[in-house]
Amino acid sequence: MKLAKNKLQQAFDLMAKEANLLVPMKIEGVTKFAPWGAEGELAMDAVNTLLPPKDALFPQTEKMYKYKTRLTQVESLEEIKETDKQIIFGIRSCDMHSIDCMDEVFLTRGYVDSFYSRKKENLTTVAIGCTKVLPTCFCDSMGLNPVAAPTADVQLNDLGDYYAVKAQTEKGEALVNLLKPLLEEGDGEAAALECTLKVNMDGVQKKLMNVKMFESDIWQETAQKCIGCGTCTYVCPTCYCFDIEGKECGNEGYKFRCWDSCMFSEYTRMAGGHNPRPSKKERVRNRFLHKLAYFEDRYGKGSLCVGCGRCVADCPVDLDITMFIDKVGALKEAGSND
Amino acid sequence: MSDMQAKLRETAKKLLESGEVGYIIGWGKGRTNKTSPVFVKEPAKVDELVWNEYCLNTLAKYTMDNMYPEKKIGLCVRGCDSRAVNRLIQDNQLKRENVYLIGLPCEGKKDPVTGEMVKKCIECMHHNPLEADVMVGEPVQEKGYPDRFKDVEAMEALSADERYEFWAKQYDKCIRCYACRNVCPACNCRECYVDQYRVGWQGKQNNRAENQVYGLTRAYHIGDRCIECGECERVCPVGLPLMKLNRKLLKDANELFGEYEAGMNTEVKPPLGTYKLDDHEEYM
Ligand code: SF4
Ligand code: SF4
Ligand code: SF4
Ligand code: SF4
C-alpha cells in the first residue's frame, strides 16, 4: 500500500484519535518525538532526532506508586499505571533497534518490569526508512539497515511524493487498517542507503571481554578528556539506567524513578561514601564496556550501541565512541598498548 | 594559523624535552573538523597538538584532575583559558606554580559543523591571554563587546510573566545532564550541591520546577565569578541561552558594586566574596 505525502496530516489526525501520537517535532530548537499537535514544527527530515524516543517507554521521570500513611501504618498504597495507547510515528532503524535492546533488559531474564511492559503492550511503532544519513550515523556498521527496521509494526519508505506502507506485525496490520481510507494500491522498493561513517566491530567485542583489557592503559587515555556530564547517556537511545527516589509531603507521597547516568560520580557512590568507580577512567570504561561488550555477553543480541551517532555529535569534548572502536580494533591483541 | 601551530609544537617539544613540564594540555584532531582536548606527554607526540579555527574547548579545568602534579602542567591558554586559570587560582583550586602557560592569541573560533564564528567568540572581550609564561604568535586586536548586556536589557524590558514564560520554556527542555556545570571553570566545588544527595538540596525529578531550581542555583553560585567564557551555553545539548542568566547577575554586580569582570587577575576579589560597610542591601 502507499500513502500520498499530502495525506500525511490526515493520517496523523486519524491516528491521534486512536492513541497518543508521537511524531518528530522541532520544539524550541530541539528535535524530539512529541505529541502531534504540540507547539512546534513537524520535523520529518530530522534524520535522527536530537533526543531519542526512549522517553515514550522509559520516561526521564516516571511516578511508580503513591501512598498515604497514618502514624506508622500504611493507609493506602497504589501502583500508578499508565495504560494510554501510544504510536511512535517516524522512528528510524537505529531507534527501533534501541527498543529491541530495552525489551531484552526490561522484559527478559526472569523479571518483567511492569511499568515498561504496560507501555510496550500499548505501543505501536511506525518506522521510516532514511533517505539521507548524518555525518555521525554509523548504524550499518552495527548490523542495522537504514531503510528497514524489521521489528517495527509498520515500515514506511519515502518514495518521493508518497510513502510505501508495509505492515510487519498484527499491531501493524491494525494500524494500516485504520489508515485504509487514505491509502492507495501500490508499492515500491526503497533505494539502499549507506552510512558514510564506518567502523569495524570485527573482533572488538571479544577483545573487550578479555580480562586483560580491564586494566589496559586505553581507559585512562580515552577517559582523560571526559568531563563526566551525562550528555552521552541522556541522548543515547539505549542507556536505560535509573534511580528510584521518593517525594513525601505530610502523610502522603510517591516514589518515582528517573534516568541516571553511569558518568555521574554519584551513580556508584555507596551509603558509606565509598565509590567503586572513583574516577572518570572507571566510568568511561563502564560505559564503553556495557555498550560494546557486556550487553552482547548477557543477551547475545549484538551491541548495545545501535550506531545512532548522538553521543558522537553531542559530547562537549568529542569523546567519540567510533574512534574508540577503531582504536580497540587496531590493537594487536587484547591488553596490549599498541 | 599553521605557522602558529608549528610554533606551538616546537614550543611543546622543548618544554617536554627539557622536563620543564610533565605533559601538555592542548587541542587535538577529531574525526571531523572538530578538535578535542589532548594530553601530550612525549616529545615525539607533539604533532598531536593542533591550533586551528576549531579549537573550541576551554582547558584550564583539566588541571583539577591533577592538583598535586610532580612537574608543572603545560597548559595552552587563549584569553578565556587564562581567565579560567585566574578563576581557579583565586578559588584555591590551582597553584600558579603548578602550571606553565603557553599563550595563544585567538581571533575567535568557528563551529565545526556550520563553519560560522561561535557565539562565545563573537562575545569575547579578551582575545589575548592575560598571562602566559611563553607566547606563541603575535597579539591580536581587541574589539571589546559593547553589547555585553544588551540581551539582558531586552529581558529586563519584558514583564515578569513574559520572563517566566520564556524561562519556563527553556527549562522544560533541560535534560539535567550537568554539562553546563561540568565544563564551567567557576563550578569548581569539590562536591557540588547537586551531588549532596543525602542533604537533598536538588531533587532528581526532571520537571520544570526542579530544572529551574538547578538553573537558578547554579547561576547564583557563579554569579560574581563567571568569567564569561560562554562554555556552558556552547555545550548545552538542548541550547539553553545560559549567558542571559549569567550576564544578568554580572550586570547587577556591575551596577551595585562598580565595574567588574571576573578572572582578570588574581588580586581583585569577586564582589560577593568581600564585605564593605557601604555595600548595597539590594543584592541580598
Ligand atoms: S563522554 Fe562526553 S558526553 Fe559523555 S560524560 Fe564524558 S564528556 Fe560528557
Ligand atoms: S552509544 Fe552513542 S552511537 Fe551508540 S547508540 Fe548510544 S548514543 Fe547512539
Ligand atoms: S547543559 Fe543544558 S540541558 Fe544540560 S543541565 Fe545544563 S542547562 Fe540543562
Ligand atoms: S552549581 Fe554551585 S555547588 Fe555546584 S559546582 Fe557550581 S558553584 Fe559549586
pLDDT digits (tens, 9 = 90+) for A1-53: 999 999 999 999 999 999 999 999 999 999 999 999 999 999 999 999 999 99
3-state secondary structure of A66: strand
What is the distance between the alpha carbons of residues A295 and A301, in angstroms, rounded to a whole number? Answer: 8
Cβ neighbours around A65 below 10 Å, total: 15
What is the distance between the alpha carbons of residues A252 and A249, in angstroms, rounded to a whole number? Answer: 6
- Considering the domain architecture, whether residues B179 and B127 belong to the same structural domain is answered as no
Among A186-195, A214-223, B20-29, B95-104, the minimum mean pLDDT is found in: A186-195
Q: How confident is the model at residue A264 (pLDDT cuts 50, 70, 90)?
A: very high
Q: Across all residues in chain B, what is the average pLDDT?
A: 95
- Closest chain B C-alpha to A311 CA, distance in angstroms: 10
The candidate with the shortest Cα–Cα distance to B20, out of B92, B93, B100, B77, is B100
Residues of chain A with a CB closer than 8 angstroms to some CB in chain B: 27-30, 50-51, 60-61, 135, 197, 224-225, 227-231, 234-235, 243, 245, 247, 256, 258-259, 261, 264-266, 269, 280, 312, 314, 316-320, 322-323
Are the C-beta atoms of residues B86 and B266 closer than 8 Å to each other?
Answer: yes
3-state secondary structure of A87: strand
The candidate with the shortest Cα–Cα distance to B112, out of B178, B180, B29, B181, is B29
Q: What is the mean pLDDT of each run of 10 residues along chain B (284 residues)?
A: 90 98 97 95 97 97 97 98 97 97 97 96 96 96 94 97 97 97 96 88 95 97 96 98 97 91 92 84 61
Task: For residue A138, give the ligand nearest its CA.
Answer: 2
- Considering the domain architecture, whether residues B98 and B163 belong to the same structural domain is answered as no
Q: Cβ B182–A30 below 8 Å, yes or no? A: no
Does ligand 1 come within 6 angstroms of the Cβ of A151?
Answer: no
- What pLDDT score was predicted for residue A269? 87
Q: Cβ A318–B35 below 8 Å, yes or no? A: yes
- Considering the domain architecture, whether residues B197 and B252 belong to the same structural domain is answered as yes
Mean pLDDT of A207-231: 95
- What pLDDT score was predicted for residue B284? 52
What pairs with residue A27 in β-bridges? A30
Which residues, 6 or more positions from A166, have their beta carbon under 8 angstroms from its beta carbon?
Answer: A1, A154, A155, A156, A157, A172
Ligand 3 atom showing the smallest separation from residue A229 Cα: 4
In a domain, B257, yes or no: yes
Cα dihedral value A116, A122, A125, A126, nearest 10:
-160
User: What residue owns the CA closest to ligand 1's atom 6?
Assistant: A226
User: What residue owns the CA closest to ligand 3's atom 3?
Assistant: B174
Question: How many residue pairs from chains A and B have C-beta atoms closer than 8 A?
Answer: 99
- What pLDDT score was predicted for residue B66? 96
On the question of pLDDT at A273 being above 90, the answer is no
What is the distance between the alpha carbons of residues A111 and A117, in angstroms, rounded to a whole number? Answer: 11
On the question of pLDDT at A336 being above 80, the answer is no
Are the C-beta atoms of residues A61 and B172 closer than 8 Å to each other?
Answer: no
- What pLDDT score was predicted for residue B274? 86
In a domain, B79, yes or no: yes
**Domain stop point among B87, B103, B135:** B135
Q: How far is CA A323 from CA A215, A261, A326, A330, B36, in A?
A: 19, 22, 5, 11, 12
Mean pLDDT of A294-314: 96
- What pLDDT score was predicted for residue B105? 97
The candidate with the shortest Cα–Cα distance to B50, out of B40, B61, B65, is B40
- Considering the domain architecture, whether residues B127 and B18 belong to the same structural domain is answered as yes
In a domain, B265, yes or no: yes
By C-alpha distance, the chain B residue nearest A242 is B204
Mean pLDDT of A83-106: 97
Distance of CA B265 from the midpoint of ligand 1 (Å)? 31
- Considering the domain architecture, whether residues B172 and B203 belong to the same structural domain is answered as yes
Closest Cβ–Cβ partner in B183, B206, B239 for A30: B239
What is the distance between the alpha carbons of residues A131 and A146, in angstroms, rounded to a whole number? Answer: 8
In a domain, B284, yes or no: no
Q: How confident is the model at residue A329 (pLDDT cuts 50, 70, 90)?
A: very high
Mean pLDDT of A218-242: 97
Q: How far is CA A159 from CA A2, A78, A164, A303, B278, in A?
A: 9, 49, 7, 31, 73
Structural domains in chain B (count): 2
- Considering the domain architecture, whether residues B16 and B118 belong to the same structural domain is answered as yes
pTM (predicted TM-score)? 0.94
- Closest chain A C-alpha to B149 CA, distance in angstroms: 23
**Alpha helix segments (H runs only) across B59-207:** 79-90, 119-122, 150-156, 160-173, 179-183
- What pLDDT score was predicted for residue B8? 98
For chain B, state the CA radius of gyration.
20
- Considering the domain architecture, whether residues B125 and B154 belong to the same structural domain is answered as no
What is the distance between the alpha carbons of residues A319 and A221, in angstroms, rounded to a whole number? Answer: 11
What is the distance between the alpha carbons of residues B20 and A150, in angstroms, rounded to a whole number? Answer: 59
- What pLDDT score was predicted for residue B1? 54
In a domain, B144, yes or no: no
Q: How confident is the model at residue A111 (pLDDT cuts 50, 70, 90)?
A: very high
- Closest chain A C-alpha to B281 CA, distance in angstroms: 34
Residue type, B57: N
Q: Left if phi > 0, otherwise alpha if psi is -120 to 50, otherwise beta: which for A189?
A: beta
In a domain, B165, yes or no: yes
Distance of CA B156 from the midpoint of ligand 1 (Å)? 35
In a domain, B281, yes or no: no
ipTM above 0.85, yes or no: yes
- Considering the domain architecture, whether residues B184 and B269 belong to the same structural domain is answered as yes
- Considering the domain architecture, whether residues B62 and B120 belong to the same structural domain is answered as yes
Cell numbers standing for residue A9: 496530516
- Is B23 touching A (CB cutoff 8 A)? no
What pairs with residue A156 in β-bridges? A128, A165
Cβ neighbours around B282 below 10 Å, total: 8
- Considering the domain architecture, whether residues B42 and B121 belong to the same structural domain is answered as yes
**Domain stop point among B135, B158, B180:** B135
In a domain, B224, yes or no: yes
- β pairing state of A242-249 and A252-259: antiparallel
Distance of CA B214 from the midpoint of ligand 3 (Å)? 9
Instruction: Determine the structural domain holding residue B222 and report its residue range.
Output: 150-273
- Considering the domain architecture, whether residues B20 and B92 belong to the same structural domain is answered as yes
**Alpha helix segments (H runs only) across chain B:** 2-18, 79-90, 119-122, 150-156, 160-173, 179-183, 208-221, 231-235, 242-257
Q: Cβ A316–B179 below 8 Å, yes or no? A: yes
Distance of CA B61 from the midpoint of ligand 1 (Å)? 15
Q: Cβ A243–B195 below 8 Å, yes or no? A: no
Does ligand 4 come within 6 angstroms of the Cβ of B80?
Answer: no
Which residue is it, cell 544527595?
A: B197
- What pLDDT score was predicted for residue A337? 66
- What pLDDT score was predicted for residue B277? 84
Which residues, 6 or more positions from B44, have their beta carbon under 8 angstroms from its beta carbon?
Answer: none
Number of residues that make up chain A = 338
On the question of pLDDT at A182 being above 60, the answer is yes
Digit-coded pLDDT (tens) for B18-68: 999 999 999 999 988 999 999 999 999 999 999 999 999 999 999 999 999
Q: Cβ B204–A245 below 8 Å, yes or no? A: yes
Residue type, B92: N
By C-alpha distance, the chain A residue nearest B174 is A30
Share of chain A above pLDDT 70, in %: 99
Q: Please spell the DSSP secondary structure of B230-251, one letter per residue.
A: -HHHHH-TT---HHHHHHHHHH
Task: For residue A30, give the ligand nearest its CA.
Answer: 3
**Domain stop point among B91, B110, B135:** B135
- What pLDDT score was predicted for residue A175? 98
- Closest chain A C-alpha to B176 CA, distance in angstroms: 8
- What pLDDT score was predicted for residue A209? 95
Q: Pocket residues for ligand 3 (CB within 6 Å)?
A: B 174-180, 236-238, 240
Are the C-beta atoms of residues A174 and A117 closer than 8 Å to each other?
Answer: no
Q: Cβ A229–B235 below 8 Å, yes or no? A: yes
Does ligand 2 come within 6 angstroms of the Cβ of A92?
Answer: no
- Considering the domain architecture, whether residues B195 and B102 belong to the same structural domain is answered as no
